[in-house]
Amino acid sequence: MTEGGAGPERETTRGETAADDGTADPPAGVTVRRVERADLLDVLRIEKTCFTEPWPYTAFESFLDEPGFLVAEREGDVVGYVVSDVMPNHGRDIGHIKDLAVAPDARGMGVGRLLLQRGLVSLSLSGAAVVKLEVRVGNEPALSLYRDVGFEPARRVPAYYADGEDALLMVLDVDAWRN
Ligand SMILES: CC(C)(COP(=O)(O)OP(=O)(O)OC[C@H]1O[C@@H](n2cnc3c(N)ncnc32)[C@H](O)[C@@H]1OP(=O)(O)O)[C@@H](O)C(=O)NCCC(=O)NCCS
């Protein structure tokens, strides 16, 4: 559990993190940490501003114990999150980025990239050899971010979303990404 016990793992401080995991320095004043139950209403509020088919509260709640559910915080406010997990796959475990969003007023300053990178570090530490995600074919900001971080298109999934839009399935080889 993330609440009680040892408490959330603080994952970033400027400088320390760059040296620890090879990812970029976080934007000034932004930290990334494991989610806590108390964050879920903020996460849900951001989710509703970002998606036409937002996840319900219970969906986020079901991932509370996942090491790959991280939030970005700025001046005490949750400004974004990534939800990811790992599924066993015959010795080549598959990480899955299931949700990623940044509050509109915190976009364009590197928070999405930081969350994605920290999510990938977490998935790698959990044993993922490959990471996949689905993205709307028309979601240029997200496509650009994923391409830039190293995801490659694998296939197009027709009418993946409830409104009929296709998804692009994208994949990233974790070893190649780390080296
Ligand atoms: C996609 C999203 C998470 C990006 O978050 P962000 O914090 O604004 O992204 P960053 O500032 O870290 O930008 C990283 C890269 O993303 C791309 N990007 C971000 N915003 C972009 C935009 N408006 N247009 C084109 N590319 C963009 C760029 O490649 C950028 O790199 P650069 O700064 O070197 O140009 C954010 O736009 C968002 O929450 N969108 C709504 C939810 C969503 O679509 N989630 C993804 C679901 S698959």
Q: Could you tell me if residue 8 is inside a domain?
A: no
Predicted pLDDT at 12: 34
Q: Could you tell me if residue 5 is inside a domain?
A: no
pLDDT band at 13 (very low <50, low <70, confident <90, very high): very low
Closest C-alpha among 59, 70, 61 to residue 102: 70
Q: Could you tell me if residue 4 is inside a domain?
A: no
At 2, is the secondary structure helix, strand, or coil? coil
- The gap from C-alpha 67 to its chain's centroid, in whole angstroms, comes to 11
pLDDT band at 25 (very low <50, low <70, confident <90, very high): confident
Predicted pLDDT at 141: 98
Average pLDDT over residues 106-127: 97
Of ligand 1's listed atoms, the one at least distance from the Cα of 97 is 48
Q: Could you tell me if residue 9 is inside a domain?
A: no
* CA of 111 relative to ligand 1 center, distance in Å: 8
* CA of 154 relative to ligand 1 center, distance in Å: 20
Q: What percent of the chain has pLDDT over 90?
A: 83
User: At CA 28, angle to CA 114 and CA 175, rounded to 5?
Assistant: 25
The two structure tokens encoding residue 107: 């976009």
Predicted pLDDT at 2: 30
pLDDT band at 21 (very low <50, low <70, confident <90, very high): low
pLDDT band at 11 (very low <50, low <70, confident <90, very high): very low
Compare 7 and 93 and report the one with higher pLDDT: 93
CATH number of the domain to which 38 belongs = 3.40.630.30
Q: Give the total number of structural domains in the chain.
A: 1
Instruction: Return the DSSP state at 10.
Output: B
Q: Could you tell me if residue 88 is inside a domain?
A: yes
Of ligand 1's listed atoms, the one at least distance from the Cα of 133 is 48
User: At CA 97, angle to CA 67 and CA 70, rounded to 5?
Assistant: 35
Q: Could you tell me if residue 82 is inside a domain?
A: yes
Predicted pLDDT at 1: 28
Predicted pLDDT at 24: 65
Compare 120 and 8 and report the one with higher pLDDT: 120
Q: Which residue's alpha carbon is at the smallest distance from atom 42 of ligand 1?
A: 101
At 49, is the secondary structure helix, strand, or coil? helix
Q: How far apart are CA 179 and CA 175, in angstroms?
A: 6
Model confidence, pTM? 0.90
Q: Which residue's alpha carbon is at the smallest distance from atom 16 of ligand 1?
A: 145
Q: How far apart are CA 60 and CA 79, in angstroms?
A: 16
Give the residue numbers spanning the domain of 99.
Answer: 16-178
Q: Could you tell me if residue 58 is inside a domain?
A: yes
Q: Could you tell me if residue 85 is inside a domain?
A: yes
